[in-house]
């Protein structure tokens, strides 16, 4: 069959899909992706990591295909190639990053803070099925005192990474005056100006003298973001359906700071 013929069939298939509600298309797409992934992350920094089947997170499928927080992939891959003795993940959710770092940093200890108790069992399950349970400690709320205590111990053992997503709590917790050990730590933080107006500039002013700051902006997902193994097997689904699967539904203007200690050689 000619290339034109193949494209013609693909076009007809997409037209036929248009008669079905998006929720029907999306349900089928999820089944297809689940079949491809088999409960393992397909691509990205944590490719191959097993994912707990009890996940209820809206971004579960984005994590499976490896497009979740795609903007951070470069920084996360650098972290995974580093020599951190400790990762403190504040706002660990279901354990995607906490367990991901434990799988990629073979001798690293991970402290996973998660305020929602229902997340604790999933983090534990994720750690267990990936064989890293002995290196992942799960805790509840993290405040200035807890972070200071953790980093006081961690920085004695070696380099430490703070990976934070606390829905605006970064304004209170991420303070190098209250937690002076932060000056020696790598930090990646999601910023929530829609929760606390001006928090981005507050964090920038606190760390501008001690860290090199890279500003990372969120962007819309498209079909082209899918890894080849998924994209090639989902061509019959509409762009709208693909977008609904991997969209992270972030407010416009979302961003992160990747901050590296300035006194460390580049």
**Cβ-Cβ contacts under 8 Å for 7 (sequence gap 6 or more):** none
Does 77 score more than 90 pLDDT? yes
Percentage of the residues of the chain whose pLDDT score is greater than 70: 91
**Mean pLDDT on 86-113:** 94
- CA dihedral in degrees (227, 231, 233, 239; nearest 10)? 150
| CA 171 – CA 186 distance, rounded (Å) | 17
What is the structure's pLDDT at 4?
Answer: 43
What is the structure's pLDDT at 21?
Answer: 73
Does 251 score more than 90 pLDDT? no
**Mean pLDDT on 62-69:** 93
Q: Contacts for 194-199 with beta carbons within 8 Å, 24 or more apart?
A: 194/251, 194/253, 195/167, 195/168, 196/168, 196/171, 199/168, 199/170, 199/171
What is the structure's pLDDT at 6?
Answer: 38
Q: What are phi and psi of 161, to 5 degrees?
A: -120, 130
Query: For residue 175, how many other CB atoms are within 10 A of its CB?
Result: 18
Residue 231: pLDDT band with limits 50, 70, 90: very high
Q: Which CATH class is domain 3-261?
A: alpha beta
Does 3 score more than 60 pLDDT? no
| CA 145 – CA 97 distance, rounded (Å) | 23
Residue 18: pLDDT band with limits 50, 70, 90: low
What is the structure's pLDDT at 67?
Answer: 94
Per residue in 137-146, pLDDT (tens digit) is 999 999 999 9
Domain ranges of the chain: 3-261
Radius of gyration of the chain measured on its C-alpha atoms: 20
Round the average pLDDT of the chain to a whole number and report it. 87
- From start to end of the chain, where are the E strands? 86-90, 109-113, 136-139, 160-164, 186-191, 211-217, 255-261
Does 7 score more than 50 pLDDT? no
Percentage of the residues of the chain whose pLDDT score is greater than 90: 60
**Mean pLDDT on 64-81:** 93
| CA 236 – CA 48 distance, rounded (Å) | 26
What is the structure's pLDDT at 53?
Answer: 78
**Mean pLDDT on 181-191:** 94
Q: What are phi and psi of 89, to 5 degrees?
A: -100, 105
| CA 228 – CA 44 distance, rounded (Å) | 12
The tokens for 191 are 């910023």
Q: What letter would DSSP give residue 251? A: P
| CA 106 – CA 80 distance, rounded (Å) | 10
Q: Considering only residues 90 and 107, tell me which one the structure prediction assigns the higher pLDDT.
A: 90
| CA 215 – CA 228 distance, rounded (Å) | 28
**Whether the model pTM is above 0.85:** yes
Q: Considering only residues 75 and 11, tell me which one the structure prediction assigns the higher pLDDT.
A: 75
Does 71 score more than 90 pLDDT? yes
Distance linking the first and last C-alpha atoms of the chain? 54
- Tokens 């799960």 locate to 138
Q: Considering only residues 24 and 70, tell me which one the structure prediction assigns the higher pLDDT.
A: 70
224 neighbors 154 (Cβ within 8 angstroms): no
What is the structure's pLDDT at 19?
Answer: 60
| CA 6 – CA 16 distance, rounded (Å) | 15
Residue 9: pLDDT band with limits 50, 70, 90: very low
């Amino acid at each position: 069959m000619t290339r034109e013929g193949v494209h013609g069939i693909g076009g007809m298939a997409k037209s036929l899909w248009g008669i079905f509600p998006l929720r029907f298309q999306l349900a089928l797409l999820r089944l297809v992706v689940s079949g491809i992934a088999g409960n393992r992350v397909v691509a990205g920094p944590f490719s191959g990591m097993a994912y707990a089947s009890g996940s209820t997170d809206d971004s579960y499928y984005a994590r499976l295909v490896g497009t979740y927080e795609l903007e951070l992939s470069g920084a996360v891959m650098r972290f995974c190639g580093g020599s951190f003795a400790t990762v403190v993940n504040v706002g660990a959710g279901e354990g995607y990053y906490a367990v991901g770092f434990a799988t990629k940093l073979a001798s690293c200890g991970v402290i996973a803070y998660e305020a929602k108790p229902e997340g604790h069992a999933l983090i534990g399950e994720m750690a267990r099925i990936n064989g890293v349970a002995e290196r992942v400690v799960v805790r509840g709320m993290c405040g200035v005192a807890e972070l200071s205590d953790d980093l006081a111990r961690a920085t004695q053992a070696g380099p430490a990474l703070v990976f934070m997503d606390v829905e605006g709590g970064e304004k209170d917790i991420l303070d190098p005056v209250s937690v002076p050990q932060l000056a020696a730590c790598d930090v990646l933080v999601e910023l929530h100006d829609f929760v606390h107006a001006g928090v981005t500039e507050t964090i920038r002013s606190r760390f501008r003298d001690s860290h090199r700051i890279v500003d990372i902006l969120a962007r819309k997902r498209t079909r082209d973001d899918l890894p080849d193994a998924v994209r090639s097997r989902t061509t019959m689904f509409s762009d709208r359906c693909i977008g609904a699967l991997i969209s992270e539904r972030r407010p416009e203007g979302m961003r992160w700071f990747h901050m590296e200690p300035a006194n460390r050689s580049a």
